[in-house]
Amino acid sequence: MGVTAHRGAAATAPAAGPPAAGEPLLGIGAAAERARVSERALRYYQQLGLLVPACTPGGLRRYSEEDLARVARIRELQTLLGLNLDEIAVVLRNEDRIAQIRLSYQDERTSDEERWRLTRECLSLQEDLRATVEAKRAALEGFLADLDARIQRGRDLLVSQPQPAASPLDEGEPASPGGDR
């Protein structure tokens, strides 16, 4: 346990769907460019077990579209939620677990009881993350409301003031804050 990251877990099933053969598979240079990250970052993510690309017999990394999507997700979790890579690892592992659950869910040998249990687990994992995100969203909403209140105060001053008849630099209203909801 410890090297079981994503591909290791998914490989327990005999290969299913998305990672179909005959895909382009980019080298690290092209992958880095397309994912808008550095090659170093890709290697680093792999080192932390966030990403496990395929590799050639010679040991060169080959990235699938799925891998690129995973990188995009990592960046999203970094920049949007401000999670660090360890926390992101947890999220990704959960999502992998969910994918794995979907597989054994399909398996006919799985009992109904087991299916129920798996589904519950799956939802529980996702709702964890959802709570985090929702909290952040609420906080941001509050922040924005505060900002809008301040702006409105200034804007009120503006209208209460007799504007200087012919203002030479009147290049239109930027937008109506608080009015776009």
Partner DNA sequence: CCGGACTCTGACGTTGACGTCAAGGCTCGG
Partner DNA sequence: CCGAGCCTTGACGTCAACGTCAGAGTCCGG
Q: Which does 148 bind (CB under 5 to 8 A by kind): a second copy, DNA, none?
A: a second copy
**Residue where the block lists tokens 């809008």:** 148
- Beta bridge mates, 63: 26
Binding flags for a second copy, 54-83, as an x/- string (CB under 8 A): ----------------------x--xxxx-
Q: Which does 57 bind (CB under 5 to 8 A by kind): a second copy, DNA, none?
A: DNA
Q: Is 167 in the site for a second copy (CB under 8 A)?
A: yes
- As given in the structure block, the two tokens for residue 27 are 């080298």
Q: From CA 179, how far away is CA 141, in angstroms rounded?
A: 15
Q: Is 166 in the site for a second copy (CB under 8 A)?
A: no
Sole binder of a second copy in the list 3, 58, 161, 179 (CB under 8 A): 161
Site size for a second copy (CB under 8 A): 47
Q: From CA 67, how far away is CA 52, in angstroms rounded?
A: 8
**Residue where the block lists tokens 């995100």:** 133
Q: In the complex, what is the shortest distance from the CB of residue 139 to DNA, in angstroms, rounded to a whole number?
A: 18
Return the half-sphere exposure (C-beta side, CA atoms, 13 A cut-off) of residue 46. 18
Q: CB–CB of 118/105 below 8 Å?
A: yes
Q: From CA 118, how far away is CA 98, in angstroms rounded?
A: 9
Q: Is 36 in the site for a second copy (CB under 8 A)?
A: no
For DNA, the closer of residues 43 and 155 by Cβ is 43
Across the chain, where does the E strand assignment appear? 54-55, 61-62
The contact set with a second copy (CB under 8 A) reads 76, 79-82, 98, 105, 112-113, 115-116, 119-120, 122-124, 126-127, 129-131, 133-134, 136-137, 139-141, 143-144, 147-148, 150-151, 154-155, 157-158, 161-164, 167, 169, 174-175, 177
